[in-house]
Amino acid sequence: EATLDLAERRRIRSAIRELQRQELERDEETLASKRFRPERSSHRQDNKENWPQSQRLEEEQQAALAALSEQLKAITSVEELTKLLRAAGEYEERKLIRAAIRKLRAEEIE
């Protein structure tokens, strides 16, 4: 319906904005709950044999990332870091290298 009362129009618009905001919050909560679901116990039971092996692989990967992090601290050239970035295969390695490049560039700007 059309209304000529400006105050009523403002109230309607603010109510619509509030409903949209609440809908966005519900959508974000739904996405977050889907994204960060805890591991299901039945899946863990199915994968019980491989769990120690995957745990060991994860620990090895963490150790390799820690070593890479120490190596990156010693590098002071963006070109060297860029070469490492192009050669890196794993996402976590590339993530660390990009962070080191950003840090070096920030230091150069200062």
- Residue 73 and residue 99 in contact, taking contact as beta carbons nearer than 8 Å: no
SS3 for 56?
Answer: helix
| Cβ(97)–Cβ(84) below 8 Å | yes
3-state helix, strand, coil in the chain (%, to 5): 80, 0, 20
- For each of the chain's 110 residues, which pLDDT tens digit applies? 676 788 888 999 999 999 999 998 888 888 777 765 555 555 555 556 666 777 788 888 888 888 888 888 888 888 888 888 898 888 888 888 888 899 888 888 88
Domain boundaries, the chain: 6-34+56-108
Q: Are 93 and 68 spatial neighbours (Cβ–Cβ below 8 Å)?
A: yes
